[in-house]
A and B are shown apart, each in its own frame.
Chain A
Amino acid sequence: MLKKSIAVLAVSTLGLTGCAATEESLTLYSGRKENLVQPLLDQFTEDTGIEVEVRYAGTSETAALILEEGENTQADVFLGVGGAALGALSRGGAFVEIDQEILDLVPAKFRSVDDDWVGTSGRARIMVYNKENVTQIPSSVMELSNPEWEDRIAIAPSYGSFQAFVTAMRVIEGDEKALQWLSAMSENALIFNKDEEVMEAVESGTADAGLVNHYYFYRRGVEDGFENLISEAGFFTSNDVGNLVNVAGAGMLNDSEQAKAFIEYLLSDAGQQYFSDETMEYPLTSGVQPSEKLIPLDQVPTAELDLNDIDQLDRTLELMREAGLL
């Protein structure tokens, strides 16, 4: 092992690695986390023989990296979280068009209007709640601003998915109503850093309810057994922005065979099954059914919204700051 480590050091020190992808390999810039992505990449290499060189960083850092590299980007494919980042790269002219037959595997609302990025898995905002203390889910997330929720609802305002949801609320309800809601939440809500911590707060009884991405609840259920949880998850019942469905997605930086093969693989049954089984996200193609624990995506009562429209996060951050949530 030590020998290998020294070899790694020597190789990296001499600068022999990091060259662009060769014919049989693919360079991926991933804004998604290594622990969720790497097993899928290993599976891809095994199935196709294409080696993957991968560079992990946050979604927004990776997007900035690609924009700065410009024409000379080392990446073949970008994988990241949220329509906003994918949209920014599309506007920046980083992506090349994806073949129509691949795009058509995914419903139009989960891909680029310019045909240059595609959602590869879906995540819905959901409310987790204590089965004993909450008997009925509100019809809308807007109702959480009522005084009855004071100190009972947990949120993670600094988390990207929450901010995307607030942006969607602004688009649908307008800035003024969004600000009112945010201000009420700064009274009512218990604040955490990440959705995982919100999930933990509800499951440990600290909070009666919380707003999270759906998979945080379902992963917990699979790990601990759904019957052992004191919490349950559900969607707001009206066609509500509180149930926003966002995507993790991918775009190609060039139209090499490897890049196409990778995008195709992400949307193949094997790829979609991986997201369904391992990350508990929603598959977006019709070929794979979501986990039976999940409410099917077409039955999620979400507001009509184009992901391409929720890319203006700066105003959202301003309102959240004004409301005292950041």
Chain B
Amino acid sequence: MRQKPPAVLVLLAVFATLISLVPIAYLLFRGSQAFEQLLIELLRPRTLELLFNTTILVVSVTLASLVIGVMQAWLVVRTNLPFRNFFAVAAALPLAMPSYVSAFGWVSLFPGFYGFWPSLLVMTMTTAPYVYLAVAASLVSSNFQAEEVARSLGKNRTQVLKSVTWPIIRPAATASSLLVALYTLSEFGAVATLRFETFTIGVYNAYRSSFDRNAAAAIAIVLVVFTLLILYGERKSRGKVRNFEPHSGKRIRIKISGRYGFASGLLGLAFLGIGIPVAALVRWSVVGSSRAELERLTDAVLVTIGYSIAAGIIITLFALAITLVTVRYKSSLASPIESGVWIGHALPGIVVALSLVFLGANLLPGIYQTIWIVLIAYVALFLPNGLAGIRNPVSQIPIGLDEVGRSLGQSRLQILRRITLPIVSPGVLASLALVTLTVMKELPATLLLRPTGVDTLATRLWALTDASSYAAAAPYGLLLFLLGGIPAWLLNRQIRKTLDATT
């Protein structure tokens, strides 16, 4: 029999869900102000064009990321690939490069690099690490011998992949693909730079071209509907998380033929995802004449670290509470909470930011334009990123452990503290690193909601590139990448440890 979740967890989960719903409430309010306009927007031929562009980009980026991420994870964790430790880090590192910097880097090195294919390339490079990290983690914690057993029973490699490996990685692969799809839906900076028009650009153009908040809301509501469809698809294809299986026996690596060929392939991917953007940033600093001011740079670094770690901790706590309530205790609130958290995740940053401007300026003047409203925005934007990392580790805990705890007279909170939390702590830390990294790169909400006069690396980077001071901007971009590299490195630690332990 399931237990009821402790009240403190339920409170945290419900509070976090309410924050996630702020943008949705705001959109419904705006949309209701202009119902006719909503219909006009929806029925324009242009909407169909945006729908087509958006669909084709989301589908192709998600598939490409899935293939690349799964391949990277399998090669690094399971095979005798050379330089595995290097590739384990290189596969995660593009996550530290903001997609708008990456897009801008490509365009500045290759003028005319516009349209669908460039957008597909840049978005795939940016998002594949989500899949890689999740799938690698699930491979690491699974039983290495299952595949060998299947092989010895006469199945060929494709059959093994389909019937043994895929069921192991499926929950992680679908959860991370969901993140990728929604990330692509919400992306503005990169696709704008690469000139590929999606719904998000439609939302921005509505603000820009007619300063019309209601029209922007109308298009954003379409994005929400799109999100619902994707969420539905993910639920259907999620698969069942398998319980944690203790490793037994020796971990043996699969010998692949042409391992140096695969290594060169991975090196090529690293070059596209990290090499090109870094080369562009370095070139800016060499070519230009403007210089960064050291003091502002230091201030921006400290603010960025402070904001992203604070947000990382808060979001991870919320995510943990939500996951325990929905997955561990299977509370009746589970379904509404999950839907509430994810539904707004495809909204562009500017919509989330403006919804909090509306809420903050009019209802919460005490915290408006302070760090608190910025943190609330980060929760609304990135709570799903935290959930994605925690869900599977929590699902894998054998439920019987709780009963053992209870039979020994432990209270619900004691069970949580002494049994559940220690088991899920690696997943929690991974989630913390992932969220911190994502928050670091955030621009539109930070720009509008930050305390007046406070800058992060991302806002300074924006101001300087906007003024075409590329040489002064370059150190901000490089520092953002280096700082983001630290959580990316930590995310990989568990994977690298396993690599060292296998033969």
Contacts and interface: CB of A to CB of B under 8 A. Distances in A.
Given A5-B298, A67-B211, A18 B205 contact: no
B207 A64 contact: yes
A131 interface: no
B452 to A, nearest CB: 5
A34 B465 CA distance: 11
Interface in B289-341: 294-295, 298-299, 302-303, 305-307, 310
Interface residues of B, number: 49
Interface stretch (A119-127, A172-180, A268-276, A309-317): A309-317
Contacts of A2: 298
A53 B370 CA distance: 14
Nearest to A89: B211
Nearest to A69: B361
B283 interface: no
Contacts of A40: none
Given A13-B306, A64-B354, A18 B211 contact: no
A34 B467 contact: yes
Given A15-B372, A17-B454, A18-B452, A72 B299 contact: no
SS class, residues of chain B in contact with chain A: helix
A73 interface: yes
Contacts of B107: 193
A33 B205 CA distance: 20
A12 interface: yes
Interface string B453-492: 1100000000100111100000000000000000000000
Contacts of A65: 354, 357, 448
Nearest to B464: A35
Contacts of B307: 13
B369 A74 contact: yes
B361 A55 contact: no
A102 interface: no
Given A68-B357, A68-B358, A35 B469 contact: yes
A104 B259 CA distance: 77
A196 B46 CA distance: 31
B209 A53 contact: no
A311 to B, nearest CB: 8
A8 interface: yes
Q: Which of B303, B305, B350, B453 has the most CB of A within 10 A?
A: B453
A88 interface: yes
Contact of A17 (B213, B350, B453, B469): B453
A257 interface: no
Contacts of A241: none
Interface in B171-208: 195, 197, 205-208
Contacts of B450: 18
A262 to B, nearest CB: 16
B303 A12 contact: yes
B371 interface: yes
B367 interface: yes
Contact of B454 (A4, A12, A92): A12
Interface string A203-226: 000000000000000000000000
B354 A68 contact: yes
Contacts of A24: none
A39 B454 CA distance: 18
B304 to A, nearest CB: 10
Given A15-B367, A18-B370, A318 B46 contact: yes
Contacts of B305: 9
A4 B296 CA distance: 11
B362 A70 contact: yes
Given A194-B468, A314-B205, A56 B463 contact: yes
B299 A5 contact: yes
A18 B451 contact: yes
B382 interface: no
A14 B213 CA distance: 32
A54 interface: yes
Contacts of B466: 33, 58
Given A15-B372, A61-B447, A65-B448, A1 B357 contact: no
A252 interface: no
A292 B124 CA distance: 52
Contacts of A69: 357-358, 361-362
A2 B295 CA distance: 8
A9 B301 CA distance: 9
A15 B371 contact: yes
B38 to A, nearest CB: 16
Contacts of A34: 463, 467
A196 B290 CA distance: 15
5 contacts: A12-B451, A70-B362, A72-B362, A74-B369, A158-B195
Interface of B: 46, 107, 195, 197, 205-213, 294-295, 298-299, 302-303, 305-307, 310, 350, 354, 357-358, 361-362, 365, 367-372, 444, 447-448, 450-454, 463, 466-469
Interface of A: 1-2, 4-6, 8-9, 12-19, 27, 33-36, 53-58, 60-61, 63-65, 67-74, 84-85, 88-89, 92, 158, 193-194, 196, 312-314, 316-318, 321, 326
